[in-house]
Structure 1
Amino acid sequence: MNVKQVVGMALLGGLLIVGCKSQQGKLEFLSPKSGDNITYGQKVPLRINFPDTTVDSIVYTVDGQFLEKKQDTTAVTLDTEKIGLGARNLVAKVYKGGKEEVAYSSITIVPEAPKQYTFEKVKEYPHDIKAFTQGLEFEGGFLYESTGSGANLISSIRKVALETGAVLQKKEFTGNDNNNEPYFGEGMTIIDNKIIMLTWLNKIGFILDKKTFNQLGTFPYQESKEGWGLCYDGTYLIKSDGSSKLYFLDPVTYKEVKSINVYDNAGAVDYLNELEYIDGKVYANLYGKDIVAIINPVSGAIEGHINFVGLYTNPNRAPNDQEMNGIAYDKVGKRLFVTGKQWDKLFEVKVIAR
């Protein structure tokens, strides 16, 4: 072995020693690592690189909430079902000899990949091409539809004959709010003899008499900043605001009492638009896509995607302002209806698993 080899080996040995000391001195999560997506339902062991395995205690927290305290370095199990979907911050605080060291890991808990569905077209019905559809309901043999403004269109609530598409009754919203902003109609739903209708940026909702369309009152938004979609599950009004959240409102006071984040297996899903509650699930138009998401309203998981690409084939369809928007369900006849903004057709469809 020559001098260069000896020197080289000495330098390499020194680097290895420094590297080992550096690694030994770093308290960090080995798993799950920051940035990891964890599938909801998994029980995940929290493994940490401890520079020194002799400790007085270790306190584990999730988003600041106590998880577990230990007097040794054995793994702690994180039950994802107990903490739910979404971004979560894991912290391990290690105490020894009156000193504290901290390790962090930021993860996202996501559901399994959504089931994929396609459609079968059952029947076509005429639809007012001037209807900038924002909300849609089917009740008592009629469609109830809320529309927005744009291109000389005026926001409205209307009662529509299914078979002919004829507008049987209509109320237009031509006034302004306190900021002199014109009312832009958005999603709506029906509770007994009342229609509840949102506005987009005006931060208020309207309470209307279902029979006469006369205004009975208004209510302000709270944490939700905009009005997009609205449905009713029999207990709560469920509202979207264009974000990845769904808000749950008391149907008497209209106060927002809770919210959930909506996720698929890739992460948070924004642009939740028009909503319909069907057999325990929330169906949501995804703005800008011919796709309807099927959402679990308890967990926030997107459990399915219905791909409606190819349903509306009008060659004159514009790329903007003619998005798919409008889901209605006939609870008695078990029929599903869908349409879009300024579409000349409304479709009865059957959902088929792929």
Structure 2
Amino acid sequence: MRASDTARRLVTRLATLVLLVAAGCGPLPHADSQPAPDSAPAPVITPVVLAEIPHDPEAWTQGLEFDGSALWEGTGIAGKSQLRQLDPATGALLRAAPAPHDYYGEGITVVGDRIWELTWRDGVAVEWDKATLTPVREAPVDGEGWGLCHDGERFVRSDGTDRLRFHDPVTFAETGSVTVTRDGIPQAALNELECVDGQVWANVWKTDTIVRIDPSSGKVNTVVDAAGLWPGQAGDSVRVLNGIAHLGADEYLLTGKKWPSMYRVRLEAR
């Protein structure tokens, strides 16, 4: 056999081997590949406005929650943060107390005769007595505090990232977390929270969007497009949508930072 025939057969065998390996391994992933999207995008709904209620235009709203009779609001800014009780029908301020130690107040949630409030970067959550509006204790928190709600069994916290974090209802110790995705893509900037019927509603910071999250999977299953809810917002990067209070059934109160109004709306989640 001539040397040229031997070389030709060797090249042929090597080519066949490369094809077999490529067929068995499949294509390599691209370095910039994104997570595979869910089978169907989350439906987008718009709020149906039922009423407009006055709101303090100086309130830097961080948390909003209705406990069945009273409306509670937590406001921010270090040295100016307050826990407030409002009249849910008129928006009138009934009581207010300053955050202790000049903390920068964040999200709040009501649990029985107590109200829990996050702080932004102070590393604590404050437990308040609802009747006297006085702080009774503090619990350590690892990381930033943004939004807070209670689902009946545990606390759910946001920290501005794409994660929801779960906390023990007594000690406030973190017990787990889940990554939130919208259509297969991580959804960051989660802010004020509201727990309703096993789902978590979250404002997306600096947007006109609210998302509803299944906390068992982290998947966004409904998106609220609230663009134009308060016409005066008009893209203002400071006075942004932030405040969700469940009133019952499919009715909610929505407001924002330094908004002059709250809006009673219907959110018909699909």
Task: Provide the TM-score with structure 1 as the length reference.
Answer: 0.68
Question: What stretches of structure 2 of length at least 5 have no aligned partner?
Answer: 1-6
Distance 1:347 1:16, change over 3 A: farther
Where relative contact order (Cα < 8 A, 6+ residues apart) is larger, the structure is 2
Alignment root-mean-square deviation, CA: 2.8
Aligned-pair identity in percent equals 32
2:214 counterpart residue number: 296
Give the greater-gyration-radius structure (CA): 1
Q: Which has the higher strand share?
A: 1
Query: How far apart are 1:137 and its partner, in Å?
Result: 0.3
Pairing partner for 1:123 from 51, 58, 68: 51
Q: CA offsets, 1:251-283, max 9 Å, x none?
A: 111111111111111411111100001122100
Tell me whether 1:171 sits opposite 2:97 in the alignment.
yes
Asked if the contact 2:155–2:168 (Cα under 8 Å) also holds between the matched residues in 1, the reply is yes
2:85 counterpart residue number: 159
2:253 counterpart residue number: 337
Query: How far apart are 1:140 and its partner, in Å?
Result: 3.4
Aligned mates of 2:267, 2:250 — CA distance in 1: 12
Query: How far apart are 1:314 and its partner, in Å?
Result: 1.5
Give 3-state SS (helix, strand or coil) of 2:228's partner: coil
1:324 counterpart residue number: 241
Tell me whether 1:280 sits opposite 2:208 in the alignment.
no
Question: What stretches of structure 1 of length at least 5 have no aligned partner?
Answer: 1-10, 40-109, 176-181
Asked if the contact 1:264–1:302 (Cα under 8 Å) also holds between the matched residues in 2, the reply is yes
Distance 1:13 1:275, change over 3 A: farther
Aligned mates of 1:241, 1:125 — CA distance in 2: 29
Asked if the contact 1:112–1:264 (Cα under 8 Å) also holds between the matched residues in 2, the reply is no
Q: CA offsets, 1:330-349, max 9 Å, x none?
A: 23x65311000000000001
Distance 1:14 1:263, change over 3 A: same
1:89 counterpart residue number: none
User: In the alignment, residue 328 of structure 1 is paired with which amino acid?
Assistant: A
User: In the alignment, residue 295 of structure 1 is paired with which amino acid?
Assistant: I
Asked if the contact 2:100–2:135 (Cα under 8 Å) also holds between the matched residues in 1, the reply is no
Aligned mates of 1:313, 1:16 — CA distance in 2: 71
2:179 counterpart residue number: 261
Distance 1:161 1:28, change over 3 A: farther
Asked if the contact 1:111–1:302 (Cα under 8 Å) also holds between the matched residues in 2, the reply is no
Asked if the contact 2:250–2:267 (Cα under 8 Å) also holds between the matched residues in 1, the reply is no
Aligned mates of 1:338, 1:112 — CA distance in 2: 27
1:5-154 equivalence runs, <5 A? 18-25=14-21, 29-30=25-26, 33=29, 35=33, 37-38=35-36, 110=38, 112-149=40-77, 154=80
